Amino acid sequence: MHDIGKVKIPLEILNAPRKLSSEEFELIKNHVLYAKELLENSGITNKKIIDGALEHHERYDGSGYIFKKKGNEISYYGRVLALADVYDALTSKRSYKDPWTPYKTLSYILAHVNKHFDPVFTQNLVNSLGLFPPGMKVMLNDGSEGIIIATNRANKMKPIIKINDYIVDLLEEKNLRITKIVAYEYIEEQTT
Ligand SMILES: [Fe+2]
């Protein structure tokens, strides 16, 4: 919902498979203001939600937009969404780029801690993804192969896996465990 303001940006700018002009980029920046307007007009009064949408492009060092807030001046959800938004954008397919792997994405994020991202929230993101981020292809002890679709907070060694058309929760399937990382595989439906 943080990006809902993009509905007011022309599609040819939003999906342009090229570098945007500075005028176009200035236009896109307004999506955070449009988001506030749209959310408020639809009856959402929770300030945390409004501020999250409004501040998701602020950066920890003050180099973001639209208010150039820094550090803890940026609301809690503004700082969380800044991380989630970049993680999602980099691991997704876009008209101008292929999806990045979780490792490459986390490397990028770690290189920008204290610049773009809150250090504590970044640490939490890394901890929550663990060794088996969504999208990774793994082999189990029974020889089957599956793709990680979600992490289990209670045990990061026991994620939820899609094997063929079945969803398997390794926390519940006590006899199954991951024996090998096969590859990272991009999952189309994750980003639609
Ligand atoms: Fe955005």
Full DSSP string of 57-120: T--TTS-SSSS---GGGS-HHHHHHHHHHHHHHHHS-BTTBPPPPHHHHHHHHHHTBTTTB-HH
**CA 177 – ligand 1 centroid, Å:** 38
Does the pLDDT of residue 54 top 80, yes or no?
Answer: yes
User: Looking at residue 26, what is its pLDDT?
Assistant: 95
Mean pLDDT for the stretch of residues 56-83: 98
Nearest Cα residue to 117 out of 175, 58, 162: 58
Lowest-confidence pick of 14-18, 112-116, 119-123, 185-189: 185-189
Contact 96, 107 (CB under 8 A): no
Average pLDDT over residues 96-102: 83
pLDDT higher than threshold 50 for residue 192 = no
How far does residue 64's CA lie from ligand 1's centre (Å)? Answer: 11
Give the model's confidence band at 127: pLDDT under 50 very low, under 70 low, under 90 confident, else very high: confident
Q: Is the pLDDT of residue 101 over 50?
A: yes
Residues in the chain: 192
pLDDT reported for residue 190: 44
Tell me the average pLDDT of the chain.
91
Q: Is 9 helix (H, G, I), strand (E, B) or coil?
A: coil
Distance 131 CA to ligand 1 centre (A): 28
Question: What whole-number percentage of the chain has pLDDT above 90?
Answer: 70
How many angstroms separate the alpha carbon of residue 124 from the centre of ligand 1? 21
CATH assignment of 4-129? 1.10.3210.10
The confidence score (pLDDT) of residue 15 equals 84
More confident residue, 42 or 92: 42
- At 30, give phi and psi (nearest 5°): -65, -10
**Rounded Cα gap, residues 83 and 148, in angstroms:** 21
121 touches 83 (CB < 8 A): yes
* Residues pairing with 146 in the sheet: 138
pTM of the model: 0.80
pLDDT at res. 191: 39
Return the domain boundaries, the chain.
Answer: 4-129, 136-191
Distance 132 CA to ligand 1 centre (A): 27
Which pLDDT belongs to residue 189?
Answer: 47
